[in-house]
A and B are shown apart, each in its own frame.
Chain A
Amino acid sequence: MPQVFKSNDQRYLKMIEEVQDYAIILLDRDGTILNWNKGAEKIKGYPEKEIVGKNFSCFYLKEDRETGLPQHLINEAALNGRAKHEGWRLRKDGSTFWGYIVITALHGDNDEVIGFSKVTRDLTERKLAEDRRDRDARNIALQNKQLEEFAYITSHDLQEPVRKIQTFARLLEKNISDEGQVQKYLEKINLSANRMVTLIKSVLDYSRLSQTQEQFIDTDLNTVLQAVKEDFELLFAEKDVTIIANDLPVIKAIPIQMHQLFFNLIGNSIKFNTHEPVIEISTGKVQDKDNDEHFDSEIDYLLLQFTDNGIGFDQKYAGQAFQPFKRLNSDYSGTGIGLALCKRIVDNHRGYIEVRSAVDKGTTFEIYLPM
């Protein structure tokens, strides 16, 4: 042991030894650990006899050791007097903590560096809280952006029927003595007003679909399908609808949203069909999705497929299908919110929805849901 540490001042020893919130240790010129305190044992997990004599680089992550971070820090301390760093460090059991480290160079009589004092504080709690705050801020920013876009689309689409009501009102006024014209324009005004009501209702439906308050519980998709079939009982009979479904699994989901998802998809398949609708609901294996950015590689997914024999649409417009108020077909009435609702529901369940279609060849929806 170098000259300077031979004197055994009990006060200094006491001051450092029992401190629990900071690891305060002594390193020699090469980073070898010379002593230990209670804080070091608490933060890093090693008892004194196991660690004294080892190099302090064992606290560093493998990648940091490979890039030479420990060496870099003591070099910086030797050059500048001290080095500060914050980063992930390793405990004895392999777990990590977020450490705030100050390494101070200690000098001998001739001003040469004879060792280092290293003080470490465990700031894991604070780091996790900061990360959570950043994530929340990003989420809020994203939600605000989505809200802005939605408000833009909504106000735009709601202005349409308003403008028409104004236009037809003026024309009605101009043609006030022509009873036929008056009737015609009154009818149009009523239709536009009804359309506004429908649009507003769909805006509300869309904005109400949130995930945060709802509970995910075991949901039997067969039960969901049965309930939706009951909702559509009359329509099924009227349009001669056939549903072919194999046995569906039970998944953790929000039942009321699953109901709405099935309802919207089946409703669409019936509507956009010029003859007897046949809808197939099947489940399948999820393959080759590990490299797909939409999927979390650590979770298993269920593939739920809805295939119909309806009018279909040109696949090049598939990107528009799930956008709010975007309709792919003006010949059929609707608000264009149905599929946007489906997408929102699938997003709430951290899944993914895709569509494949071709004109007059039917449409297939592929829904991936975490199991």
Chain B
Amino acid sequence: MDKSRSATKLIPRLQGLHSDIFMFKFTVCNTTNTLTMKNIRCIIIDDDPDDRELFEIALENSGHPFNLLPLSSGSKALEIFTDIEAGDIPDYIFLDLNMPLLSGKECLQEIRKVSVLHITPVIIYSTSSYHLDIAETKEYGATHFLTKTPDIDRLSVILGKLFSKTALPYELS
């Protein structure tokens, strides 16, 4: 499968063209299969550069084409989210909990205040498996709680299921 990703910018809008067209990016899956799939637009918010890179590796093997916007802090994310336009809304937001300054929980609460993002799935991506973290994040409106695992292949499988809209429990591991 062809791996496509645009590193940092969400698909920009060109003047005069309808924004809907830019929600789709057509990808050739392989040489014999001309099936086109929409890119899953993901944002990952994690202060650790290794974890951002590992997440991208997992995405590459998830079975879905994707666009990934990696962000290193909650404040950077909120800067983007506060004036976000409908055409730039991501399909999934992945959010680390243990970050300096603005914590993941605080960031989650701020994200849920942005009205255009209220149906966007926010998946907590954290080293924690602490029951209070799981309960609190659920209360604050997270869609799933994904505990970081050393098994990147397993992460790819979970992401694949998530993107195929398989029914999944709150806690993913």
Contact = CB atoms under 8 A, between A and B. Distances in A.
Contact of A167 (B100, B128, B150): B150
Interface string A165-191: 011011100000000000000001000
Nearest to B99: A330
Nearest to A316: B101
Nearest to B49: A330
Interface residues of A, number: 20
B53 to A, nearest CB: 9
Contacts of A163: 127, 148-150
Contact of B72 (A171, A314, A327, A330): A330
Nearest to B54: A167
Contacts of A188: 50
A328 B50 contact: no
Contact of B100 (A166, A169, A171, A327): A327
Interface of B: 47-48, 50, 54, 57, 72-73, 98-101, 127-128, 148-152
B101 A317 contact: yes
B150 A170 contact: yes
Interface of A: 156, 159-160, 163-164, 166-167, 169-171, 188, 313-314, 317, 320, 326-330
State the majority secondary structure of interface residues on B.
loop
A330 B127 contact: no
Nearest to A162: B150
B100 A326 contact: yes
Contact of B101 (A156, A167, A328): A328
5 contacts: A159-B127, A163-B149, A164-B50, A167-B151, A326-B100
Nearest to A313: B101
Contacts of A160: 48, 127
Contacts of B151: 167, 170
A108 to B, nearest CB: 70
Nearest to B98: A156
A327 B47 CA distance: 11
Contacts of B73: 330
Nearest to B101: A317
Contacts of B50: 164, 188
B127 A167 contact: no
A166 B150 contact: yes
Contacts of A166: 150
Closest A-B pairs by Cβ, 7 of them? A166-B150, A167-B150, A330-B47, A327-B100, A317-B101, A163-B150, A328-B100
